[in-house]
Structure 1
C-alpha cells in the first residue's frame, strides 16, 4: 500500500520523507511496547514506571529507528538528557499531547522549558507576535533566545517538525507530524495540516531480550565453587626470632590494615 507524503515533508526531508514517516510510526510503537513491558515487570500499582519508560523511549526509540537513514544525525540540546534526530533539514521533536484521543489541532506544548524556547527558534513565527514569550519570564523577548549545545550547530534553515502523539498505559492511540508555530498559552498554530502517522501493529527491536537465565557451562576448574571445597591454600610458617621471645614481643598474625587514600569523591574530580 502506497503512503502519500505531503509536499512540506518532501521539501524538508528530501528522499528520506517516506522512510522517516514509516520509521517514526514504528519507533512510537516500539516506545509503547517497551513502556508497557517495563510497567508489567514492576507490577506496580501506579503508572510511574510506564511514564518514565515512555518519556525515555519517545527519544531513544526514535533515534534507533532513524539513525541509519542517509542525512540523519543526532543533536544533543544543552542540558537535555536525550538526543533529537535531524534528518536533512528536519529536526524532530516527539511529545505526548494527550492521554486520550483528542483533536491534535488544539494541542498545546506540555511545558515551558528553556529547551522549548530554543527549539521554536526553528519554527515559523506565530500570527500574533507578542513583545515577549509567555514563559513566565517578563521582558525576555524571542530575539534574545539563542540555541545552545548541539542546537547551536544546527543550520539556520532547519525546520522544527513536531511529532505529537496520544497514549496511555493501556494503548497507543494516535500520532501526527507537521510544522507549527508556538502561539499564546503554548497553543500550537499549525502551518501545515497535522498528518496522521501510520502506527504498525507489530513491534520491532534489534536489542536482545533475556527471557530466562541460560544454563552456565561447567568445567573441571569450576566444579568446586563453595568456600570449603576448593584447594587449601599453602601457608608459609616461620619461627620467631629468639630476641622477640626474650622481649615478650607479641607474635604478628597479620599485617596492619592500610588506610585507603581514595574515596568515592575522588572519581568526581
Structure 2
C-alpha cells in the first residue's frame, strides 16, 4: 500500500522519499529473517547469536535495499565497522530502541558513544542541555567533530533516525524521523516519528549453496586414508635470535559497541 511522503521526508529525500521508506522496511524485515536464521542454525541456549547477527544485519541489509537508488552512497564513520547510507540530504541511522512494543516518542539512544555524538552534529540542537541550578565545575565535553567519511558529508545533511523494536521472536515495529539528542540520551523529536511498513516477504542478495559440493569421488573414510609423512626440523639458536619478539599493537578505538548486540 502506497503511503504519501510527509513534508519533511520529501524535503530531505526529494522524489526518492517513498523508495527510501520502502527500502528501510524491507531491509529491516531481511535483518530479522537473517538474524533468526543464524539463531536457529547456531542452536544456542542464549540469544547472543541472534543479537550479534541482528546488529550486523541492521546496517548491511538496509544498505542492500538502498545502495542502488540514484545518488546513494555509503559513508563509513571513523572506527566503525559498518557503513551508513547517505541519500539526498538524509543520513540514515538505524538502531534498536526496545525489545518490546513501546512509545517511540520516549525512546533513548542506546548509548552516547563518540559515534553518536558525531552523528548528532547533523541533527537539530537540543532545547535543553543542563538542569537549572546544576553546578558543574568539571571539564565540559568537547563538541564532537565528524571524522572519517562523516567529515565528507555535505553541509545541510539531516540525520534521519530509524528506531525499531524487535527480539529473537519477532520484528515488532519501526519508525523514522528527525530528532535532537537531549539529556540522558533522550530523543527530542523535531518531526513526528512515522511508522514504517514492514513487509512479510523476505528478499535476499546473497547466494548460499544449498549443498556442499563433493570434494572427492572416492568414498574413503578419514581412518582409511594414507597417513601423511611429516618432516620436522628445529631452528638453530642463531636463527631464532634473528626473529624479533612479537607483541600486540594497541587497537584503534572501536565504536561498534554503541548498540546492544547481545540479545
Give the TM-score category using the shorter length. 0.7 to 0.9
Unaligned runs of 5+ in 1: 230-253
**Deviation (angstroms), 1:216:** 5.2
TM-score between both structures, scaled by the size of structure 2: 0.80
CA distance in 2, matches of 1:203, 1:264: 51
What is aligned with 1:60?
Answer: 60
Q: Pairwise mapping of residues 24-35 of structure 1 onto structure 2 (< 5 A)?
A: 24-35=24-35
**Deviation (angstroms), 1:68:** 1.1
What is aligned with 1:145?
Answer: 144
TM-score between both structures, scaled by the size of structure 1: 0.79
Q: Which moved more, 1:208-217 or 1:29-38?
A: 208-217
Q: Is 1:176–2:195 an aligned residue pair? A: no
Q: Which moved more, 1:204-213 or 1:108-117?
A: 204-213
**Deviation (angstroms), 1:258:** 6.1
Q: Is 1:92–2:92 an aligned residue pair? A: yes
User: Residue deviations 1:3-47, cap 9 Å, x none?
Assistant: 211111111111211111101000000000010001101111100
Please give the secondary structure, in 2, of the residue aligned with 1:80. coil
Q: Pairwise mapping of residues 42-121 of structure 1 onto structure 2 (< 5 A)?
A: 42-121=42-121
**Deviation (angstroms), 1:208:** 1.3
Please give the secondary structure, in 1, of the residue aligned with 2:110. coil
* Greater relative contact order (CA < 8 Å, ≥ 6 in sequence): 2
After superposition, the CA RMSD in angstroms is 3.1
Unaligned runs of 5+ in 2: 250-263
Gap change, CA 1:47 and 1:257, over 3 Å in 2: same
CA distance in 2, matches of 1:185, 1:256: 62
Gap change, CA 1:228 and 1:104, over 3 Å in 2: closer
CA distance in 1, matches of 2:61, 2:83: 11
CA distance in 2, matches of 1:112, 1:148: 16
Gap change, CA 1:57 and 1:228, over 3 Å in 2: closer
**Deviation (angstroms), 1:115:** 0.7
Q: Is 1:200–2:199 an aligned residue pair? A: yes
Gap change, CA 1:262 and 1:9, over 3 Å in 2: farther
Bigger Rg over Cα: 1
Gap change, CA 1:264 and 1:182, over 3 Å in 2: same
What is aligned with 1:248?
Answer: none
Q: Is 1:165–2:164 an aligned residue pair? A: yes
Please give the secondary structure, in 2, of the residue aligned with 1:189. strand
Q: Which moved more, 1:37-46 or 1:121-130?
A: 121-130
**Deviation (angstroms), 1:211:** 3.2
User: Residue deviations 1:32-81, cap 9 Å, x none?
Assistant: 00100011011111000000111111111111111111111111111111
Query: How many pairs are equivalent?
Result: 239
CA distance in 2, matches of 1:264, 1:168: 46
What is aligned with 2:184?
Answer: 185
